[in-house]
């Protein structure tokens, strides 16, 4: 921990030195909520979000806040260790789908706003029976559309990355979430919370964007049920993409005369969700928005950018962070700001000199350039009391959403 701010109703505990004003203002709002428990934890990668900073951890007594989870419910990371110890660029291009065969994951994993044209196997979806007690289920309304979204990457900072670990193995990593399904659920319940808070004349100002649902209301548990479905859907989404990435790796390696590739150590962790947990001997609703759970001995993933290292980590279970850590490097420039201010040639040169097959083609891609993100090495240094590094991963090839 770097600093504690004690000027609000509850303390704000910071794992960074350079918090910007808008992020700090949002953290102050959290610390003044009437139901905040103990303190607010702000991770080393924090930057502004809607209502709550991305990189924030908030424990609440008796309520759940949809905006403290966000619109990409269940967004997270998965990573797999392979038996490969090296891979050349021709094979990497075949895996991505930019090689001679023009196959690879670009033909099997839709990106951006694209979905599959055909519904994927419903057996891969989470069981919808859990939704039977939800009076107006958004997930049920969107279920068939969700079957076409399954196994799709999305846009923004979502990515597929092939990396070389300092354990000597090639790793596969995917960052994605619950797609439009999570957005629909989040939007519906946040609007519902806003209407209910207005009706109750809630003391939480609407401009804070932190409307809440009391846990003793049926609407809160409807939200929790649908949110948990979206978390599981996001995992199913990453799992299907990982299966198709594995197939592309095996085909590309075989095509280059290599043998069978084996896959081990599947790690998955979400960083946008709320869950009832016990902290300081009390059951509270812990919201992690752009933050990763890091219980003692629990494996997690902290990505950098396409021009910096990522990390497989092991949690230390620090109670001061509610057993949490950062979910990545965190933005230092907003998307439009990055597109306006970063130099395309310089950012491309940085990646080319690293030997990374990258996704930086034009000025519109600069919002995901390495220069748009904080220094991951500083982020990791700032949270040494939260996690230990298990494997450091250097990027080799990237497909962005």
Residue positions annotated with a catalytic role: 327
Burial level of 242, CB count in 10 A (0-12/13-18/19+)?
buried
Q: Cα dihedral angle (42, 55, 305, 20), rounded to 10 degrees? A: -60
Q: How do 291-293 and 213-214 pair as beta strands?
A: unpaired
d(CA 149, CA 374): 31
Local structure of residue 151 (DSSP, 8 states): T
Q: Is the dihedral of CA 129, 130, 133, 138 positive or negative?
A: negative
99 contacts: CB under 8 Å, gap ≥ 6: 90, 93, 252
CB 338 within 8 A of CB 369: yes
d(CA 348, CA 354): 10
DSSP letter string over 243-287?
HHHHHHHHHHHHHTT-----EEEEEEEE-EEEEEEEETTEEEEEE
CB 189 within 8 A of CB 219: yes
- Burial state string for 5-33 with b = 16 or more CB within 10 A and e = fewer than 16: beebebbbbbbbeebeeebbebbbbbbbb
CB 74 within 8 A of CB 270: yes
How many CB atoms within 10 Å of residue 51?
A: 22
- Dig out the tokens for 243 from the structure: 């299966």
Q: How do 282-289 and 272-279 pair as beta strands?
A: antiparallel
What residues form DSSP beta bridges with 176?
A: 76
- Dig out the tokens for 207 from the structure: 């401009």
């Amino acid at each position: 921990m770097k600093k504690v701010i004690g000027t609000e109703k509850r303390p704000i505990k910071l794992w960074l030195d350079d918090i910007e004003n808008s992020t700090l203002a949002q953290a102050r709002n959290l610390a003044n909520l009437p139901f905040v428990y103990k303190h607010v934890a702000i991770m080393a990668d924090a930057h502004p979000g809607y209502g709550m900073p991305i990189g924030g951890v908030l424990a609440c007594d008796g309520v759940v806040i949809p905006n403290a989870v966000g619109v990409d419910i269940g967004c997270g990371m998965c990573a797999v260790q392979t038996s490969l110890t090296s891979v050349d660029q021709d094979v990497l291009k075949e895996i991505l789908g930019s090689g001679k065969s023009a196959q690879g994951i670009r033909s099997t994993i839709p990106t951006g706003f694209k979905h599959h044209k055909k519904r994927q196997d419903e057996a891969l979806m989470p069981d919808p029976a859990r939704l039977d007690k939800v009076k107006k289920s958004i997930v049920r309304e969107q279920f068939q559309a969700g079957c076409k979204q399954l196994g799709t990457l999305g846009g923004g900072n979502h990515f597929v990355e092939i990396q070389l670990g300092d354990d000597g193995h090639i790793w596969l990593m995917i960052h994605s979430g619950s797609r439009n399904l999570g957005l629909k659920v989040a939007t519906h319940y946040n609007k519902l919370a806003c209407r209910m808070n207005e009706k109750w004349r809630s003391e939480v100002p609407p401009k804070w964007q932190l409307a809440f649902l009391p846990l003793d209301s049926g609407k809160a548990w409807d939200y929790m049920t649908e949110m948990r479905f979206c978390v599981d859907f996001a995992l199913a989404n990453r799992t299907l993409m990982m299966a198709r990435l594995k197939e592309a790796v095996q085909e590309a390696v075989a095509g280059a005369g290599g043998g069978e590739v084996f896959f081990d150590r599947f790690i998955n962790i979400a960083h946008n969700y709320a869950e009832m947990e016990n902290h300081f001997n009390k059951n509270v609703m812990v919201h992690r928005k752009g933050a990763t759970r890091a219980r003692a001995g629990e494996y997690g993933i902290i990505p950098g950018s396409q021009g910096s290292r990522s990390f497989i980590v092991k949690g230390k279970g620090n109670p001061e962070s509610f057993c949490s850590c950062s979910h990545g490097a965190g933005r230092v420039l907003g998307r439009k700001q990055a597109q306006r201010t970063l130099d395309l040639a310089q950012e491309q040169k940085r990646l080319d000199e690293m030997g990374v097959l990258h996704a930086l083609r034009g000025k519109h891609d600069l919002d995901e350039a390495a220069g748009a993100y904080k220094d991951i090495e500083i982020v990791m240094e700032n949270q040494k009391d939260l996690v230990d590094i298990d494997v450091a991963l250097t990027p080799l090839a990237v497909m962005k959403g």
